[in-house]
Structure 1
Amino acid sequence: MSHAALCGLAENPALPPDLLDRLVETADDEVAAELAYRADLSHAHAVALAARSPETAVLLAYEGKLTAADIDPAAQPDAALALLDESAGLPEWAALLASDPEVARRKKLAACPGLPPDVVERLASDPDMGVVAQLAESTTVREVIERLARHPHAEVRRGAAGNEAAPPELLAALVRGDFPPALRCLVCDREQVPFVHDPECPRLDCDLPPGAACDGSHQSTVDDMYYAALWNPATPAATAAVFADHPSAHLRRPLAARTDVPPRVYEQLAADPVPYVRSTLAENLSVGEGLVRLLADDGGYDVQRTVASRPGLPLDVVLRLAGAGKTGAARLPRIADASPDEVRELARSPEPRVRMLVALRRDLPDAVRDALAEDPDAKVVKCVAPHPGLSEAQLRAMVDRHGVRVVAKVATNPDASPELLEDLTRHVPPVRKVLREIARRPEATPTSLLVCLEEHQARPLAAGHPALPPALIAELTTDPDRQVAQAAAANPSLPPAMMRALLDAEG
């Protein structure tokens, strides 16, 4: 039996209880991870899996299937950390884990909420600056934040800058540079300065981020500190506003996302030379209509598409962007909120792109839906094809008129009959995507699914479909394609006798 089939059985909702017991008793990490998500997994099963697989113990802890009584923090430190992270662990665990030799565990502990004061103090003096920086970013103890914001290591100050529990006046002072300069950073801890880290660094043991640099001023870490502070809503707006003139677009972008800076800052950023700063501004709902209209004429990459996705956008702006082909293929909030009268007006627009936007709604009045179903433009018909309430005759007429351009979307219509789905599998010329869509449909017939099995990407979907003949499902559990074998073993229509035979073959 392939390991893929074991994983499939582990997720099969029809697995008999005695076979579930056997899988739990023999599971390796991969099978245990699949078992962890089962709705019928008992507490006893969870405890057994946690004992077999440390990785799954963490997953089960986060899933709420283990309690503090189930965990030995000395033997299962990662599961204990998961419970502490969920505020479900025991306080004494934190003291034990604060001395763990693994830096990654101490760093994880530093991010946990509600740590005892003595543990916070130990972590604040940890020899690894990554641990201290994580504490600076996560703790809610004001005195500790204030102390770590003045820490001599720049990485720790960066952590404090991102802490939303930090007092605003402290963040302002940190950004202004009111404290004595930092003495060290992660770059000068390891390298002779001046140093700039090569983005293509060939050293396998190097974990410095690309572009990390220090010339004695710890510049890349200081920039990271500014970046964290700008995204931090606790940083005063006046402090953030200063960065509108900063030479780095990397720092102007979070400023463009803030909702609390003066209008003059938004006006300045609307003329920013970097498109992704302007597109970030276009997404900001605090920007007034005047600037939104200005950005709607901005040809920079992604700016107009972002404007189009704003809720509450004036309808004339939406129409202008649609006419220019700048709205993308997504459903737009303003079109979703259009009134019945606006919907009828938009559906009669001479511009196909506007009619497409209306056709993406799934709550159209019958008359509007039916008119769009007969639209002469295939792109409009493609958008309305999944709309509920269309008759089989309408769906077939769409395929007859527009063929391969709409057939895959017709296959997603919730009212498409099994007979129509079968016919779509035989469409000439064939459309590969339609087979993937049909393989997902509960209404798909065995005849349709046999055709779907012939398409590479549809094959795993079809192998997991309950309508597939049981004998064929059993055969597919040994398929050389791992995805297919696992999907077949997870198929609830796989006969229990076959499930048992597969486990028996595993021995």
Structure 2
Amino acid sequence: MSHGPRTAEAVWAAADLPARRLAGVALNPAAPTDVLLSLLDRGPAVVRTTLCRDRELPAEVVDAVVVHPDHRTRGSLAANPHIEPAQRARLVDDPHWLVRARLADGPRPGARSELPEHTVVRILTTYEAEHLGSLYRQVPRSARWTFPSHPEPKVRAYACTWWQELTAAERSALLSDPDQEVREHARSRHSLLDPEYVERELPDRSCHARTHLLMHGALSRRTVAQVLTAPAGPEDLSMIAGNPSLPLDVLALLARHPNARVRETVAGRPELTAPQRQALATDPDPAVRTRISVHPALTEEERAAIDYRVDSDRDFGPGDLPAWHHDPGQSRRRALSDHPLLRRLAAQDRGLPPDLVERLSRDPDLGVRVLLAQNHPQAPAELLLHSFLDYTGHGRWLLTDRPDFPTEGLAGHAEAADPMLRRLALLDPRIRPEITERLSADPDPTVRADATRHPNLPQHRLTALLDDEELAHEAAANPGLPLAVMRRLVVALDG
């Protein structure tokens, strides 16, 4: 009896040792095209999934995947973050719905994923709505200027997705569009600007729809009064406190609310008067004081007078704001500020000019340095390394993925107590083979795995690990694996 499609994790968990070896060969950067094609042609599901989803692929292999008879194999390619979006786009007219759905959903967030504009149009005009997934993440920025007036109604309807970014003329045109579906989408988005609609549709219980309307809908006086007197949940007041349509007299009321979270939300509002900012600057709650300390209306002297708190013992990581959301003038002002939180915001600007990159790379605040290292494409190699050494939070290892991360001389960390530093040692291409062999038996599983993939691992140890239940997959992915061994493992498919 079937219980539906198996997840990739379930397929991997069920794979036996030979299959795990072959999945390692599928990831091996030294595997030639003919070996990869053999794995694609005759390999088990876990091998095909690994091959098509988890690595860059030669053009010949992509050609073969696109016409592969197994839809799950093609679906793995559709979500592959390692290949050019134009290659994934070749699957736009795939006969199986699952492949099309995976293409529309795209790779994981943060991966290169902008599909060609004509591919997005094809998806919008031929796919069922339930198969569009996270297509919005893959729409190129250029399309957002052309879609509102596109000749295809379904494309114009999709343009309503970014309603707040449209001009008044574009909104008006969509609201009176000759196509009914377009008008309905436009009116649905535009209704958020109608206080009567929000009041009428607001659920009386805590739910996603209520949250959306309270945060983004136009609020009538009656809606605000209802939230103030009978909130459906403890977060309601914070939701309306951040809503741009909140009347200013209510904003003033919430600025004095006993709940610190509500006051903290209010502290982020640009409309605050000078007396309101001054009151929040001396708020008893440090989170409120810190929030108001970065208010754009404050001078540097006013910021310095506030007893704010900046926590360096926290996680930092790549910023999530697209490049077009950054204002060069604003980033410069932030980078030159004495306030570390403003400099942290500047450090996330991928377009920051060289003089500010150089300045922030020497910043005394750890968060500024790490965020610059994580985000800027021209982050200096020395900054990348020192950020890794100084920072121990989430996303630390992502620093080693930066193209300019230095690898020479890292082998000296092989004896470090921190397993992440022992992993760092394995990035050194000149690490001695005996050290790599020792680290392949390290107490930490990630260190063992990295050492097993290192090309300096002695052949006798690499061969032995091909029979290791834990590390066979990593051993087969080692680029030092002899081609003859790879071919022998593939020949075993014909058993």
Q: TM-score range by the shorter chain?
A: 0.5 to 0.7
Deviation at 1:475, TM superposition (A): 3.8
Deviation at 1:17, TM superposition (A): 0.5
The partner residue of 1:257 within 219, 235, 242 is 242
Counterpart of 1:144 in structure 2 is 184
Deviation at 1:435, TM superposition (A): 1.4
2:193 aligned with 1:168:
yes
The partner residue of 2:68 within 48, 51, 57 is 48
Counterpart of 1:494 in structure 2 is 481
Counterpart of 2:139 in structure 1 is none
For residues 107 and 278 of structure 1, do their structure 2 counterparts lie closer, same or farther at Cα, with a shift above 3 Å needed?
farther
The partner residue of 1:459 within 448, 456, 461 is 448
Counterpart of 1:363 in structure 2 is 358
Matched-pair contact (CA < 8 Å) for 1:272–1:278: yes
Matched-pair contact (CA < 8 Å) for 2:26–2:47: yes
Matched pairs, number: 379
The partner residue of 2:209 within 218, 225, 244 is 225
Matched-pair contact (CA < 8 Å) for 1:240–1:261: no
Counterpart of 2:39 in structure 1 is 23
For residues 116 and 334 of structure 1, do their structure 2 counterparts lie closer, same or farther at Cα, with a shift above 3 Å needed?
closer
In structure 1, the gaps of 5 or more residues are 95-105, 121-138, 147-159, 183-217, 348-352, 374-378
Residue deviations 1:155-200, cap 9 Å, x none? xxxxx9xx5354733xx222222x8xx9xxxxxxxxxxxxxxxxxx
The partner residue of 1:268 within 235, 245, 253 is 253
In structure 2, the residue corresponding to 1:479 is in which secondary structure?
Answer: coil
For residues 431 and 142 of structure 1, do their structure 2 counterparts lie closer, same or farther at Cα, with a shift above 3 Å needed?
closer
* 1:147-296 map, 5 Å: 163-166=188-191, 168-169=193-194, 172-177=195-200, 219-220=204-205, 224-232=208-216, 235=218, 245=228, 247=231, 248-259=233-244, 261-283=246-268, 291=276, 294-295=279-280
Which of the pair has more CA radius of gyration? 1
Matched-pair contact (CA < 8 Å) for 2:92–2:122: no
Q: Equivalents in 1 of 2:335, 2:135: separation in Å?
A: 45
Q: Equivalents in 2 of 1:416, 1:35: separation in Å?
A: 29
Counterpart of 2:143 in structure 1 is none
Deviation at 1:16, TM superposition (A): 0.6
TM-score by length of 1: 0.54
Matched-pair contact (CA < 8 Å) for 1:91–1:116: yes
Q: Equivalents in 2 of 1:417, 1:69: separation in Å?
A: 40
Matched-pair contact (CA < 8 Å) for 1:293–1:317: no
> What is the one-letter code of the residue matched to 1:436?
R
For residues 495 and 267 of structure 1, do their structure 2 counterparts lie closer, same or farther at Cα, with a shift above 3 Å needed?
farther
Q: Equivalents in 2 of 1:450, 1:299: separation in Å?
A: 57
In structure 1, the residue corresponding to 2:205 is in which secondary structure?
Answer: helix
The partner residue of 1:503 within 468, 486, 490 is 490
Q: Equivalents in 2 of 1:140, 1:111: separation in Å?
A: 24
* 1:403-418 map, 5 Å: 418=408
In structure 2, the residue corresponding to 1:44 is in which secondary structure?
Answer: helix
Q: Equivalents in 2 of 1:337, 1:4: separation in Å?
A: 50
Matched-pair contact (CA < 8 Å) for 2:125–2:154: yes
Deviation at 1:39, TM superposition (A): 3.5
Residue deviations 1:405-431, cap 9 Å, x none? xxx99x989897855x3433335xx33
For residues 431 and 272 of structure 1, do their structure 2 counterparts lie closer, same or farther at Cα, with a shift above 3 Å needed?
same
In structure 1, the residue corresponding to 2:122 is in which secondary structure?
Answer: coil
Counterpart of 2:115 in structure 1 is none
Deviation at 1:497, TM superposition (A): 2.4
In structure 1, the residue corresponding to 2:422 is in which secondary structure?
Answer: helix
Q: Equivalents in 2 of 1:238, 1:116: separation in Å?
A: 36
For residues 474 and 142 of structure 1, do their structure 2 counterparts lie closer, same or farther at Cα, with a shift above 3 Å needed?
same
Matched-pair contact (CA < 8 Å) for 1:473–1:494: yes
Counterpart of 1:88 in structure 2 is 122
For residues 91 and 441 of structure 1, do their structure 2 counterparts lie closer, same or farther at Cα, with a shift above 3 Å needed?
same
Q: Equivalents in 1 of 2:103, 2:360: separation in Å?
A: 50
> What is the one-letter code of the residue matched to 1:257?
G
In structure 1, the residue corresponding to 2:30 is in which secondary structure?
Answer: coil
The partner residue of 2:412 within 413, 416, 423 is 423
Deviation at 1:48, TM superposition (A): 0.8
Residue deviations 1:106-131, cap 9 Å, x none? 744699897869xx9xxxxxxxxxxx
Identity %, equivalent residues: 18
Residue deviations 1:338-365, cap 9 Å, x none? 44xx78xx99xxxxx9xx9999997349
For residues 458 and 308 of structure 1, do their structure 2 counterparts lie closer, same or farther at Cα, with a shift above 3 Å needed?
farther
Deviation at 1:15, TM superposition (A): 1.9
Runs of 4+ in 1 over 6 A off after TM superposition: 109-117, 236-240, 308-313, 320-323, 330-336, 356-362, 411-417
Deviation at 1:269, TM superposition (A): 3.3
Q: Equivalents in 1 of 2:429, 2:334: separation in Å?
A: 31
Matched-pair contact (CA < 8 Å) for 2:264–2:291: yes
Deviation at 1:22, TM superposition (A): 1.1
In structure 2, the residue corresponding to 1:42 is in which secondary structure?
Answer: helix
Q: Equivalents in 1 of 2:154, 2:52: separation in Å?
A: 31
Root mean square deviation, CA, Å: 5.7
Q: Equivalents in 2 of 1:240, 1:110: separation in Å?
A: 33
Q: Equivalents in 2 of 1:115, 1:32: separation in Å?
A: 39
Deviation at 1:272, TM superposition (A): 3.8
Deviation at 1:33, TM superposition (A): 3.2
Q: Equivalents in 1 of 2:134, 2:245: separation in Å?
A: 28
Q: Equivalents in 2 of 1:297, 1:450: separation in Å?
A: 59
Matched-pair contact (CA < 8 Å) for 1:231–1:254: yes
TM-score by length of 2: 0.55
Counterpart of 1:99 in structure 2 is none
Matched-pair contact (CA < 8 Å) for 1:477–1:486: yes
